[in-house]
Amino acid sequence: MDKIRIVVLDGFTLNPGDLSWDGLKAIGECEIYDRTPADKTLDRAKDAEIILTNKTVLDRKTISSLLKLKYIGVLATGYNVVDIAAAKERGIIVTNIPTYGTRSVAQMAFALILELAQHVGHHSNTVHDGRWSKSKDFCYWDFPLVELEGLTIGFVGFGRIGQSTAEVAKSFGMKIIAYDNYVKESPVAGARMTDMDTLFRESDIVSLHCPLTDENKGFINKARLGMMKKNAFLINTSRGPLINEQDLADALNSGRIAGAGMDVLSSEPPKEDNPLLKAKNCIVTPHIAWATHAARERLMKIAVNNVKSFIDGKPANVIK
């Protein structure tokens, strides 16, 4: 019996060499590509029964042309790269990996918060550049240093990641408020659910943990930013297009809010003229919240188990 044919279209970010594809290779005949440009997707995937993709787009036209395709495994939580309706029409199962990076994303959210509060990286760089050695004083700082205890952190989206980040916030003695369309009573002791406007007005730090939908695209705009405290920080480890980036850059450059920490942008990699790349007190990291070794190891294990479950006729983590 011929082995099932599996194609991984863009495996490099998941496994740049520090993990193993052996679990997947044991299932079937595998072709693994680090990256796949759009003009090569059809050629590489034409004989595949199973496709794994992270950011390589599988749109309606592509899916309709892949006549042998039975299963698409998204190597991430978000699945907007796949035309789900087109897959359903063909009877193709699509799965994702929803829970692998909860703790890692919470950790990254606080890495951004702490960097804005203390500017450790900046001050370390000034020391290595010789500034401390030449200083007239025993210490110096270039930004206001912020103590987190007693501050209010507001979570827009209070699912697994928001709740995990809130538990970290509790350890710093922070007050916690949250808004979520689907969570009406807080599952985190001491956290208070509130409406969106109240959250933006009361929070010293606003942290985004919501999925991207047609309704909330660009909802962080001039009006919403205008509700925030002047000394407030905005954190986004969720989805870049939630934010109108020019409006945020304007708010930062004018001092309307104090700082922002972004691990995601509207276009990735970003264009060189993205306004946040030169905005005041805006920390930008290259979408790495998910990428700890432990999280990627879990992702790989779940991805392989998803494929096995599909082959066994009991598909798991199916996108409805």
Catalytic residues, by residue number, are: 239, 268, 287
Please state, in angstroms and rounded to a whole number, the distance separating the CA atoms of residues 59 and 38: 11
Query: Among 211, 265, 183, 237, which Cα is nearest to 77's?
Result: 211
Residues 6 or more apart whose Cβ sits within 8 Å of residue 64:
86, 90
DSSP 44-109: HHTT-SEEEESSS-B-HHHHHH-TT--EEEESSS--TTB-HHHHHHHT-EEE---STTHHHHHHHH
Please state, in angstroms and rounded to a whole number, the distance separating the CA atoms of residues 82 and 73: 10
Q: In which order are the strands placed within the sheet that holds 50-53?
A: 29-32, 5-8, 50-53, 71-74, 93-95
Q: Which is it for the CA torsion 157, 173, 291, 207, positive or negative?
A: positive
Distances (CA, A) of 10 to 14, 74, 99, 107: 8, 11, 20, 26
Q: How far is CA 202 from the centre of its chain?
A: 25
Q: What is the CA radius of gyration of the chain?
A: 22
∠ at Cα 278 (275, 279), nearest 5°? 75
Beta carbons of 54 and 82 less than 8 angstroms apart: no
Query: Among 131, 165, 245, 153, which Cα is nearest to 202's?
Result: 153
Query: In one letter, which amino acid is 62?
Result: T
